[in-house]
Amino acid sequence: MFRILTINPGSTSTKLSIFEDERMVKMQNFSHSPDELGRFQRILDQLEFREKIVRQFVEETGYSLSSFSAFVSRGGLLDPIPGGVYLVDDLMIETLKSAKNGEHASNLGVIIAHRFSAETGVPAYVVDPVVVDEMEDFARVSGHPNYQRKSIFHALNQKAVAKEVARMVNKRYEEMNLVVAHMGGGISIAAHRKGRVIDVNNALDGDGPFTPERSGTLPLTQLVDLCFSGKFTYEEMKKRIVGNGGLVAYLGTSDAREVVRRIKQGDEWAKRVYRAMAYQIAKWIGKMAAVLKGEVDFIVLTGGLAHEKEFLVPWITERVSFIAPVLVFPGSNEEKALALSALRVLRGEEKPKNYSEESRRWRERYDSYLDGILR
Ligand SMILES: Nc1ncnc2c1ncn2[C@@H]1O[C@H](COP(=O)(O)OP(=O)(O)O)[C@@H](O)[C@H]1O
Ligand SMILES: CCCC(=O)OP(=O)(O)O
């Protein structure tokens, strides 16, 4: 029997689970309020806080870390790579600690898994990190040669849910066209064409709908004016885009359950803001349907916000159901996807990919794209 610990830190939560072979024996979702995380200047500063949660979770089960067969984490802001299972290595940790590609809570999961691995000799893996990039070169073009669109999204859950839909209708993922909207602390809306995510908003930038804690696409000239107003530091401006944007900026909370409570108490402002978020999500689904030339088998709503079926899901559905049938998969399949991926490796059914090799290969292809753009 293989025992696997999955570590999945999100912007507003830390999700942990233990699997014994295919069986989930324990799962817990720790929610973090903006106040709880607000005391940390940088995401990397949350490392000890998040690690303590993981250690306590394991201790409560009575298992020792060395009794595990693998530690597996949703991956962070590594260099872009294709999807798959990767062995955590020193280069990954260097990349994440330097934060050269930016900061996100998922960076911490990899570092924690690596620490546990160093402590016990048990291998650590990363599956479908947020930098999975299968975008068509066409979709990278931003509107100015100095800026390239990037693929940063909830690759793990997007792929896991898309494959689940394919199984449901007895087809292969590689045969289907889907628009998947993962709606959590961040939101990514992707066009899956025949098993590849050919376009997606960058969930960690001013790109996409606003979210519980992110601003999404903002009016650029106003943003530039504010940057040069002298009123805000560089860090404060960045925090307005990711962390303190969206519902947090408008309503002071990233918790949709709290927003729903306020709406039910008659708070018209909360209702208007929440409805605007649904409206923007629907618009992005429409964009991705256009990417797929309208040939969409299903629209899939997933992530923590997909639990909210009283307001959000109906408000989105009423605007997009003319495109394709809408399926709702609340929460995420991430824990299962992490554990089953590690299990395939442990059983020798799949070979883990090498990060240095895959990222170098990706870079070579990207450089030839850049040559074309910047010539
Ligand atoms: N049962 C629920 N009903 C309504 N909203 C929920 C529910 N569970 C989670 N959410 C909302 O989903 C969002 C977090 O989604 P989640 O996918 O867990 O985020 P992340 O992994 O990005 O931290 C929060 O706004 C939270 O309030
Ligand atoms: C970095 C893209 C993934 C993401 O935004 O995750 P959360 O919604 O969990 O913060």
Q: Is residue 149 part of a domain?
A: no
CA distance 58 to 52: 10
Which of 142, 76, 139, 70 is closest to 104 using CA atoms? 76
Q: Are residues 26 and 95 in the same domain?
A: yes
Look at residue 50 and tell me whether its pLDDT is greater than 90: yes
Question: How many Cβ atoms sit within 10 Å of the Cβ of residue 259?
Answer: 24
Share above pLDDT 90 across residues of the chain, in percent, rounded to a whole number: 93
Which of 188, 72, 77, 197 is closest to 130 using CA atoms? 77
Look at residue 375 and tell me whether its pLDDT is greater than 80: no
Look at residue 35 and tell me whether its pLDDT is greater than 90: no
Q: Which atom of ligand 2 is nearest to the CA of 153?
A: 2
Identify the nearest ligand to the CA of 186 by its number.
Answer: 2
Q: Are residues 105 and 165 in the same domain?
A: no
C-alpha separations of 48 from 54, 102, 262 in Å: 10, 19, 34
CA distance 362 to 351: 19
Containing structural domain, residue 370 = 3-133+334-374
Give the residue, out of 180, 251, 308, with the most ligand 1 atoms within 8 A of its beta carbon, to mutate for a pocket test: 308
Q: Are residues 326 and 338 in the same domain?
A: no
Q: Are residues 256 and 198 in the same domain?
A: yes
| Residue 358 pLDDT class (50, 70, 90 cuts) | very high
> What tens digit of pLDDT does each residue of 128-184 get?
999 999 999 999 999 999 999 999 999 999 999 999 999 999 999 999 999 999 999
Q: Which atom of ligand 1 is nearest to the CA of 332?
A: 17
Name the residue with tokens 């923007």. 280
CA distance 301 to 316: 9
Pair 292, 179: CB distance under 8 Å: yes
Pair 153, 197: CB distance under 8 Å: yes
> What tens digit of pLDDT does each residue of 75-119 get?
899 999 999 999 999 999 999 999 999 999 999 999 999 999 999
Look at residue 374 and tell me whether its pLDDT is greater than 80: no
Q: Is the CB of 185 under 6 A from ligand 1?
A: yes
Q: Are residues 213 and 352 in the same domain?
A: no
| Residue 371 pLDDT class (50, 70, 90 cuts) | confident
Pair 203, 158: CB distance under 8 Å: no
Q: Are residues 295 and 323 in the same domain?
A: yes
- Which residue has its alpha carbon closest to ligand 2 atom 10? 11
Q: Is the CB of 216 under 6 A from ligand 1?
A: no
Q: Is residue 143 part of a domain?
A: no
State in Å: Cα 368 to ligand 2 middle.
Answer: 29
Identify the nearest ligand to the CA of 260 by its number.
Answer: 1
Which of 341, 31, 375, 368 is closest to 213 using CA atoms? 31
Ligand 2 binding residues, C-beta < 6 A: 10-11, 104-105, 130, 152-154, 184-186, 203-204
Model pLDDT, residue 325: 98
State in Å: Cα 309 to ligand 2 middle.
Answer: 21
Say whether 104 sits in a helix, a strand or coil.
coil
Q: Are residues 179 and 106 in the same domain?
A: no
Look at residue 2 and tell me whether its pLDDT is greater than 80: yes
CA distance 344 to 311: 39
List CB contacts of 121: < 8 A, sequence separation 6 or more: 66
Q: Are residues 191 and 314 in the same domain?
A: yes
How many domains does the chain contain in total? 2
Q: Is residue 306 part of a domain?
A: yes
Q: What is the pTM of this model?
A: 0.94
Q: Are residues 87 and 160 in the same domain?
A: no
Look at residue 338 and tell me whether its pLDDT is greater than 90: yes
Q: Are residues 49 and 118 in the same domain?
A: yes
CA distance 8 to 14: 6
Q: Are residues 160 and 306 in the same domain?
A: yes
CATH classification at residue 17: 3.30.420.40
What's the start-to-end Cα distance of the chain, in Å?
56
Q: Are residues 318 and 357 in the same domain?
A: no
Q: Is residue 8 part of a domain?
A: yes
Say whether 2 sits in a helix, a strand or coil.
coil
